[in-house]
Amino acid sequence: MISGPPITHSRPTLDAQDARAVAQTVRSGWLAQGARVEAFERKMAAFVGVRGGVAVNSGTAALKLALLAIGVKSGDEVILPSYVCAAPWLAVHQIGATPKLVDIEPDSYAIDPVQAKKALSRRTRAIIVPHLFGLPADLTRLQALHVPLIEDCAQTLGATERGRRVGSVGAAAVCSFYATKLLCTGEGGMLLSRKAVILEKGRVLREYDEEPLLVPGSFNRKMTDLQAALGLCQVRRLRRFLQRRRAIAEIYRKSLKSAEVGLPVVPKGRTHCFYRYVIRLQDGRHSGLEKVMARLDRRGVQCRRPVFRPLHRYLNLKGFPESEEAHRTALSLPIYPSMTDRMVRRVVTVLCEELA
């Protein structure tokens, strides 16, 4: 039996450069939104390949800003998948629009374009497209629906669909910089777009002061320069972070390919950046996700459901078979750039022993 300190499910990747950048900002005396926020917006926009960015204080705030900037209003409908965290549903609901939930595709965990098409109505104003776990959704088939897409890149950056970077395809995109995301600022988010008009509306709605008119949707959603200093430092290392994630995923793939679990599938024409390494336990063969997680936890390996609870379950809605199946069988293994090969091998050994 191998042992060692517990391996947590996720963890930020921080070093002395990050600490220095934040300390320098404190010494500068400029803490609120300023030049560092602007520089971080430029760097993120360049990374994603769009015209610009509007930094805000969370990914949820960025979603709300994207909806408002696109012009979604009370009474409109917005399509989104059930298998995602609560943030997209809350953003739609809070601006008075109606969230229309649809099911996912089983392999990619992303919104199913066929189901999205069935949910279209005359009131549909946007589709929120979360790219889950590091894998792009089927943007090509979603674009064919001719409805503005809001790409939710909270979990996916640098991955591509038919050579196009996630975030650069839809009318708008959003990021989250929560502590354990691909890059972090503690809390934080960003609206990104190739369209000047959306960026301009986003900037107006991000703050409440010094505007010629009172804009009802405006609010204080600003990011601080303290956060942006950390973000700038992190974005410089983002390519390295993503490389390490892919290398860890490759160790998992090679080590688990003969285990009786389903491995992540990367559909043709897409690349994966492995924000999460999500496997499927075989229903019936393995004795329930909760029990497996508890046994792994006792052995010092923290695994999690990749989505806490599908939205249709909160709302007591029926008829989301693929989201249900994912909820029953999907297990997320630890993956983050600071994991050593030894830690990855320990996860594999403990997992295989517990599933035997």
Ligand X SMILES: Cc1ncc(COP(=O)(O)O)c(C=O)c1O
Site for ligand X in 64-103 (CB under 6 A): 84-85, 87-88
Residue 235 found at the interface with ligand X (CB under 6 A)? no
Residue 176 found at the interface with ligand X (CB under 6 A)? yes
Minimum Å distance from CB 191 to ligand X? 12
How big is the site for ligand X, counted in residues (CB under 6 A)? 14
Residue 108 found at the interface with ligand X (CB under 6 A)? no
Site for ligand X in 189-218 (CB under 6 A): 189
Candidate ranges 6-14, 56-64, 191-199, 258-266; the one touching ligand X (CB under 6 A)? 56-64
Candidate ranges 54-62, 98-106, 133-141, 312-320; the one touching ligand X (CB under 6 A)? 54-62
Q: Binding residue for ligand X (CB under 6 A) from 105, 152, 322, 354?
A: 152
Query: First CA to last CA across the chain, in angstroms?
Result: 14
Residue in 149, 107, 156 with CA at minimum distance from that of residue 131: 156
> ∠260-263-267 over CA atoms, to 5°?
145
> ∠120-125-131 over CA atoms, to 5°?
80
Residue 54 found at the interface with ligand X (CB under 6 A)? no
For residues 118-149, one letter each, b for 16 or more C-beta atoms within 10 angstroms of the residue's C-beta and e for the rest, the string is ebeeeebbbbbbbbbbbbbbbbeebeebebbb
Residue 155 found at the interface with ligand X (CB under 6 A)? yes
Q: Binding residue for ligand X (CB under 6 A) from 33, 58, 168, 224?
A: 58
Cβ count near 283 (within 10 Å) = 11
159 with 134: CB under 8 angstroms?
Answer: yes
Residue 154 found at the interface with ligand X (CB under 6 A)? yes
Separation CA 223–CA 36 (nearest Å): 10
Q: Is 318 left (phi over 0), alpha (psi -120 to 50) or beta?
A: beta
Q: Rank residues 59 and 202 by Cβ distance to ligand X and give the closer one.
A: 59
Kindly list the residues in this chain that would bind ligand X in the complex (CB under 6 A): 58-60, 84-85, 87-88, 130, 152, 154-155, 176, 178, 189
